[in-house]
């Protein structure tokens, strides 16, 4: 398996570390319910899925990878910082 890092190019999957589904991050003050859902509830689709991978043995970038869980086709890779996963409402610590 190979992942095309937007910064480094296509690299072997051994350079990457998997985290899980690329979900929007709740605001810190979003409450226990929202955080519990974020941490514990996951879709498990047969088909396209957006995931977070880090190019840990490369540039260190976190990537949002769109991947087909049935065919393993890579459907797109973007830098996670451009993926709009950060909390929209509320703010982090001042």
Partner 1 sequence: MRISGKGLISGGRRVNFSFNGVSYMGQEGDTLASALLANGVHLVGRSFKYHRPRGILTAGSEEPNALVSVGKGAAQDPNIRATQQEVFEGLVARSQNCWPSVGHDVMALNDLAAPFLGAGFYYKTFMWPAPLWEKLYEPVIRRAAGLGALSGSANTEPYEKAFAFCDLLVIGSGPAGLMAALTAGRAGADVILAEDDSRMGGRLLAEMEEIDDKPAHVWVAEVLAELAGLDNVRLMTRTAVTGAFDQGTYSALERVSHHLPPSQSLKTAHRPRECFWRIAARATVLAAGAIERPVAFRNNDRPGIMTAGAVRAYLNRWGVAPGERITLFANNDDAHRTARDLVAAGVHIAAVIDSRHDAPDGRDFSVIKGAVVCNTSGRKRLETITLRNVSGEEKIQTDCLAMSGGWNPSVHLTCHMNARPVWNRDIAAFVPRAGAVPGMVVAGAANGSLSTHAALAEGAGAAVAALGQLGITAEAPALPRACDAPYRISPLWAVPGKGRAWLDFQNDVTVKDVAQAAQENFRSVEHMKRYTTQGMATDQGKNSNVAALAVLADATGRSIAETGVTTFRPPFVPTTIAAMGAGAAGQGFKPQRYLTSHRTSLKRGAANTEVGLWYRASYFAKEGETTWRQSCDREVMMVRNAVGVCDVSTLGKIDIKGPDAAKLLDLIYTNLFSTLKIGRVRYGLMLREDGFVMDDGTTARLGQDHYVMTTTTAAAGQVMAHLEYLSQVARPDLDVRFTSVTDQWAQFAVAGPKARALIDALVAEEINGETYPFMACGAITVGGVAGRLFRISFSGEHAYEIAVPARYGEALFDLLVTRAEAEGGGAYGMEALNVLRIEKGFITHAEINGTVTAFDLGMQGMISKKKSCWGKVLSERDGLMDEDRMRLVGLKPKGAAQELSAGAHLFEPDMTVERVNDLGYVTSVGFSPTLGHMIGLAMLSAGPDRLGDTVRLVDHTRGVDTLCEVVDPVFFDPEGGRVRG
Binding site for partner 1 (CB under 8 A): 1-3, 10, 12, 17, 19, 25, 28-32, 35-36, 38-39, 52, 54, 56, 60-62, 71-74, 79-83, 85-87, 92-94
Contact of residue 57 among Zn ion, partner 1, none (CB under 5-8 Å per partner type)? none
29 or 45: CB nearest partner 1: 29
Query: What are the backbone angles phi and psi of residue 25, rounded to the nearest 5°?
Result: -85, 125
> Scanning residues 10 to 69, which ones bind Zn ion (CB under 5 A)?
55, 58-59
Binding interface with Zn ion (CB under 5 A): 5, 7-8, 55, 58-59
């Amino acid at each position: 398996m190979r992942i095309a890092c937007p910064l480094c190019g296509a690299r072997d999957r051994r350079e990457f570390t998997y985290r899980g589904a690329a979900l929007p991050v709740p605001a810190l003050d979003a409450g226990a319910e929202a955080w519990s859902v974020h941490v514990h509830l996951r879709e498990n689709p047969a088909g396209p899925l957006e995931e977070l991978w880090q190019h840990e043995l490369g540039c260190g970038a976190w990537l949002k990878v769109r991947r087909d869980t049935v065919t393993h086709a890579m459907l797109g890779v973007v830098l996670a910082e451009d993926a709009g996963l950060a909390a929209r409402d509320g703010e982090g610590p001042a």
